[in-house]
Each structure stands twice: as C-alpha cells, then as structure tokens.
Structure 1
Amino acid sequence: RNIAYDPQPIGRYNVAPGTKVLLLSERDAQLHLDPVFWGYAPGWWDKAPLINARVETAASSRMFKPLWQHGRAICFADGWFEWKKEGDKKQPYFIHRKDGKPIFMTAIGSTPF
C-alpha cells in the first residue's frame, strides 16, 4: 500500500514526553505516518499528559477506553531507555535489539492523529 507521510525526518537520540514522534495508523483504508506529540491528556484531565498505558487496563480504564477502538497505532524506535536508581543517582540503560533493527510498539492516541 501507499503510505501518506511527512517526508521531513524526526531524527534524534532521545524522545522526551511532549516531543514529536511518528505514528503509523490506518485511516480511510490507507496507512499514514503522522508526526504527533508524545503524551495524552483528555479534556477533563488537569495533570501532566500521560506517556504510557498498561495493556492490562487500557481497554477498560476511564482514561484510555475511548481510544481503544479508534486510536490504535504503531510507533517504532531503535530502542528505549530504562532508568535504574543506583544510590542517589539514576542511570539510563538503552534497551534495543541485538541486531540493530527497529522495534515496533503498540500505541493509542486521540484521532485524527
């Protein structure tokens, strides 16, 4: 299939909440790559946007249930950082595939992206 996308790359080594990421989603029987901001907050939410959801509860939680049917997408990355507390400091560890290929992860968000 043809994929509609913004040809300008979003290249960087670290993606912080609130920055742009690319999501792959299907709309009108066509795949789209959309630049979106990482984080989600519904209109009634008065705190900082959330950056992840638990798969065990996303389909039924008040926060994410509205997104479950129509807000599914795929995000991809070289890897991600897990932070481990070591004493009074935090140490980032980069988690990635051994072969260097991209990792594809599920995503949900408000549509249209």
Structure 2
Amino acid sequence: MCGRYAATKDPATLAAEFDAVDETDSYEPRADYNVAPTKQEVTVVQRHPRDDEGNPDPNSTVRSLRVMRWGLVPFWAKDKSVGAKMINARAESVATKPAFKSSLAKRRCLVPADGWYEWRRDGGTKQPFFMTSADGSSLAFAGLWSTWRDKADEEAEPLVTYTVLTTDAIGQLTDIHDRMPMVLPRESWAAWLDPDREDVSDLLVAPSMELVSALELRPVSSAVNSVRNNGPELVVRHEPVPDLDEPALFDVEDTPGR
C-alpha cells in the first residue's frame, strides 16, 4: 500500500517538470515530508478547457496542477468521511470497483512525489524505508480523482479528492513490502492523463524492473511514524540499530495501516 509519502517541490518546479500550467491558485506552497491521508496536495490533470459558459473545447487540452485532498470520495457518496478509507486503489481490481471505475475511465491524474515510505517488519519492530529516485527527479504515482458535493449544503465548495493506485511490488522492493504505488514512467504520462481515452487497461501493470532498479531504498528514522513530525530529517538515511528488547513505538492514531 501507499500510506505516506513526501512532496517537497513547489508548484513552479513541478509545473516545469511535468510540463503543466500552475492552477493551484491560493494554495500556499510548503515542503511536506510526511504526507498523510486527508491532506491537501498537488496533483497533475489534463482536461479540455471550458469557455465562459462551461462548454469544453473538444479540440484542445491543458495539462495543469490542481490541489486535491488525499482520500477519494466518490461523487455518489452520502458522506465525505468515506475518503479516509479510499487512499489507495488496487490496480488489479480498480476497473470493477464502484468507487473507482468511473474515475478510471474519465478522471485520472498523476501524483508527484519525492518518494514514499514503507515499513518492513524486522522481528518485533517495523523499520521505515524511503523509496526515492536516485537522481532526485519526481516520481509520478498513477492516481484517480473525483468531485463530491454536499447535498445538504448547496453553497459549500465542491470537494476534489484523489486516490493512489497500487500494484504488486517487484524486484528489490519485495524485501520491504508486497505492495507499491503504481509509478508511471514519463513515456506513459500522456496516455494516462488523456481525457479522451477511456480504456487504460494496458497501463495497469507493475512498473518495469528498470524503473524499480533505479530507486534508492533508504532506511530512515522511526520519527516518520508520527504525522506530527515533518521536516527534512525524516528522509535522511538512518541505519537501523538492532534492539530486540525495545520494539519500535507508534502513536496509536498514526500507526501505518497494513
């Protein structure tokens, strides 16, 4: 699964890296080294531009940065709280799940990340690792998004949310966990974001061994276990010190889900 990641680049940097227009509006950029569900984060979408009357232009598309909340709330949901349970969607079954299949066909996004965290069980402890590009470039998680409106409050702003797709881990990642985010290579970005393409079944595959081999799997401090901790020290290499008599402690409400 993917339950925590880091996203520290400002919108201007991401706009250049993803060849997108910055439409984050009033969003206040900040480096987030411990992104957790329900946080507002930057995503990348590609849509047909609309005129003043809301009509889409079928002859052009615009790739842009948008701010969304992590944890997808389907448009038909009665309550937005369901989003906390929909932070991930399994690539193997996403096309058949009612919560995700509409978004898979019509509302796909990329989720830029410096890297993601995963926990390996070492005896009685859980050792956190940070998976990141060795060259410092952003990873692009395959994501889905949805817009939800509160029927009880017609004046409320619509809530735009996203989920991260996951797939079976491969290569060196299997030593840490059996699942991983579906990281898309640059050559697949356009096809994934294409608003006119409904069938993306050929893209719902595990990343290539070449992509995974280029990742650095970095052991980091257990400070990342708590969402209250957030700073560059979380992604600094921290070699584990075996201590079988002192299991790692987690804040109850912050324990990474398994």
Alignment TM-score > 0.5, same fold: yes
Q: Confirm or deny: 8 A CA contact 1:4 1:31 kept in the other structure.
A: no
1:104 aligns with 2:124: no
Change (3 A) 1:88 1:2: closer
Q: Which amino acid aligns with 2:46?
A: E
Deviation at 1:85, TM superposition (A): 2.5
Please state which structure has a larger fraction of its residues in strand: 1
Could you tell me how far apart the structure 2 residues matched to 1:36 and 1:51 are? 12
Structure-1 residue corresponding to 2:91? 55
Offset at residue 55 of structure 1 (A): 1.1
AA partner of residue 6 (structure 1): T
- Aligned to 1:110, the other structure's residue is in SS state strand
1:56-88 Cα offsets, whole Å, 9 max, x none, are 111121221111111101111110001122334
Q: Which runs of 5+ in 1 are unaligned?
A: none
1:1-113 superposed matches below 5 A: 3-6=21-24, 8-27=28-47, 28=49, 29-42=61-74, 43-44=77-78, 47=82, 48-111=84-147, 113=160
Runs (4+) of structure 1 moved beyond 4 Å? 44-47
2:21 is matched by which residue type in structure 1?
I
Counterpart code for 2:24: D
Shift of 1:52: 0.8
Which one has a larger percent helix, Structure 1 or Structure 2?
A: 2
- Root-mean-square deviation over aligned CA pairs: 2.3
- Percent identical pairs in the alignment equals 33
What SS does structure 2 have at the residue aligned with 1:56?
A: coil
